[in-house]
Structure 1
Amino acid sequence: MTLYGNVGSKEALFQAVVTEAKAEHADGIGLPGGDLADYVGRLYDFHRQHPVLLRLMLWEALYYGDRPVDDDPRRPSYRKKVEA
Structure 2
Amino acid sequence: MSTNGTSPDEIEADIERQREELAATVTQLQSKLDLKARAQQRAAELRDRATTESGSPRPELIAGAVVTVAVIGLLVWRRTR
Report the TM-score, using the length of structure 1 for normalisation: 0.30
TM-score by length of 2: 0.30
Q: Whose RCO is larger (CA < 8 A, sep 6+)?
A: 1
